[in-house]
Amino acid sequence: MKWFTKPENELFSKVKLINNEFYFEDDSKPSKIHIPATDYAEVKLNGSLVSGEVTFHQTDTLTITYLKNVVTDPSCTYKVTVKEDKVASIHKEILKGQAYQFEPIKDFVLNPALKVALLELSPTPTPYDEIVSMLREKKLNGLLLEENILKVANSDENIVLPVVTSKEAKPGMPARFELIGGLKDGQRIHSEQFFAEYVDETPGESGYDVYGNPIHPEDLFFFPEFGENVLVEDRGLMSLKEGRLVFTRHIVNIIEQQSVQKSFNWEDGLIEYDGDLVIDGDIKEGGQLKCTGNLTVLGGVFESYVFADGDIVVKGNTDQSVIYSGFSKIAAKQVENYSLQFLEIFERVMFETSFYADDGSNYEEKRKSLELAKGEFAAIQQTIDPFLSLVQQFGNVEIQEMYGKLSVIYEEGIRTTLNEQCTADEIKTEMEKFYAIIEESKDKLRDDLGSLATNSANSSHLFAYTEIDVQGPGTFQTIISAKDSVKIPGNALSTTITVDQFVEVGEFKPGNQTESIIEVKKNSGSIKATYLHSDSVLQLASKKYVVLDDEEDVFYDQATFPKNNK
């Protein structure tokens, strides 16, 4: 008669040892381990000391107690930093110790033999209440981030996390009108449609900083200007015309859309439209058009000037033309830019003037300063004049009036500042006029309209207040400028691109006759390109780079932009 015994893997469960606790793979089977004799630890099974080969079940109590095993004690330190009274963070720095312990068994093993080794020792977790008490001792009585505090308390590695935040005050809202029925700014609505209801005043909510100090809400006081196509009733607002809804803090109106089946050229003179316009045709052969709303050209734009205060869509191609979308907002931003240039010179002259003695002992220094300023003023005026001619021809009435006011301000300011008898106080008075017109110009930035889309562009100048999207084959010998982004999925050949934030191009290739460059003005911006030819020039903020060899699938931001090689 022959006896058969089951293999070990059928009789015993595999186990693993994590943080000095045993875990069974199969709770229905016992496990067998080998425990070495050591002075650093004692192991008890159900209260009795054991060593050597030990068999136990998941229901048994197997405990490990270490004896004089620590070589160096672990420790941790806490550092609390506060940023602008809004966020308090804890930096926990760990200094690990050493101790003789059983090595962990991270995977399930059959019949393992325990081994003693010198291991790193982490400090025990800090009690949650102890960390909170530490924060309160530092007078941090803001909103506690409990989850982050627990992560810091239990971490056995260096860690930095925000643990206390402030609560922003919620400003109060005045009596106002609010859109109804899911309507949004820019949607089309019908004539006699009730689109906004009157809402009474809403009080604000107080907040507090990280120290618990109260932050009182500020009431927002504003009331928009109502256009001629809006009827104001006790219950709310109703449209008098069918058109595009404009609903901003500054203005509420309904912009009508006109459709024209015609092509325009030089014989039509300057064409002006108030509101949105759809042209079923071309603008060509010296055509000139401006409109105060959005413009859609179902054909193309050829050898023409096109200006709109809203968005522009050219379904066809653009050739040898100048197009401005969001022109009134571009012009308003230029008022601020020109004013800041003048103010920089005025401030310097005012500072230098305050040091010149009344007895004339520093007359020569003052004369040199004024001569320098005179040349700088002339340089700014030279940059204003070409743009001023565009404003006078294609700007709306409000923008034309603002530029007229700007001309008076800078002419009087220059005349006063270049007077050798001028005092610092007189210059300061002139500077205040520029600050006032800067604030006035910001009031013209009433919406985010000003995007430009076209199929392709050849030998043209394209300008947009927000973004430019060339949706077809691409561009050739074209100058492109936008505030937010430029996207050219196709080719950008012999093209200059200037943008504040983001550029995405397919193939970028410089020309032989003209300099081509991709310039992103802001540090936070980026450049993405499928193919860059050699000699392409890229600029991100102050960084400049010339492509030496062709590059594919490029994405450059502040972190990845190549080092200056020019």
pLDDT digit string (tens) for 124-174? 899 999 999 999 999 999 999 999 999 999 998 999 999 999 988 888 888
1: pLDDT confidence band, cut at 50, 70 and 90? very low
- Whether residue 2 is predicted with pLDDT greater than 50 in this model: the reply is no
Name the residue among 493, 516, 483, 490 with its Cα closest to residue 505: 490
| Encoded tokens for 378 | 């002339």
Q: Do the domains spanning 177-203+214-255 and 327-442 agree at the CATH topology level?
A: no
Residue 361 has pLDDT above 60, yes or no: no
- Backbone angle region of 541, left / alpha / beta, with phi > 0 → left and psi within -120 to 50 → alpha: left
Q: Does the pLDDT at position 360 exceed 60?
A: no
The answer to whether the beta carbons of residues 530 and 504 sit under 8 Å apart is no
| pLDDT of 50 higher than 70 | yes
Considering only 52-61, 243-252, 547-556, which range has the smallest mean pLDDT? 243-252
- Mean pLDDT computed over 305-323: 97
For the chain, the domains span: 177-203+214-255, 256-325+451-465, 327-442, 466-566
Q: pLDDT grade, residue 438 (50/70/90)?
A: very high
Taking 90 as the threshold, does the pLDDT of residue 52 lie above it?
Answer: yes
pLDDT number for residue 538: 95
Burial annotation 270-304 (CB, 10 A radius, 16+ → b, else e) = ebebebbbebeebbbeebbbbbbbbbbbebbbbbb
Nearest to 383 by CA among 328, 432, 337, 418: 337
Q: What is the pLDDT of residues 12-44, one digit of tens each?
A: 999 999 988 999 999 999 999 999 999 999 999
Query: Distance (Å, rounded) from C-alpha 165 to C-alpha 140?
Result: 9
pLDDT band at residue 220 using 50, 70 and 90 as cut-offs? low
The answer, yes or no, to whether residue 356 has pLDDT greater than 70, is: no
366 pLDDT more than 70 = yes
Listed range (273-277, 350-354, 386-390, 519-523) with the worst mean pLDDT: 350-354
Mean pLDDT, to the nearest integer, of 520-530? 95
Rounded to whole angstroms, how far apart are CA atoms 400 and 61?
A: 89
At 358 the three-state DSSP class reads: coil
Q: Which tokens in the block code for residue 346?
A: 């005025």
Provide the pairing of β-strand 62-66 with 243-247. unpaired
The third-level CATH classification (topology) of the domain covering 327-442 is Four Helix Bundle (Hemerythrin (Met), subunit A) (1.20.120)
A 10 A CB-CB count for 363 gives: 12
Q: Per-residue pLDDT for 357 more than 60?
A: no
CATH code assigned to 177-203+214-255 = 2.40.50.100
Q: According to the model, what pLDDT value does residue 200 have?
A: 86
Residue 85 burial (10 A CB sphere; 0-12, 13-18, 19+): middle
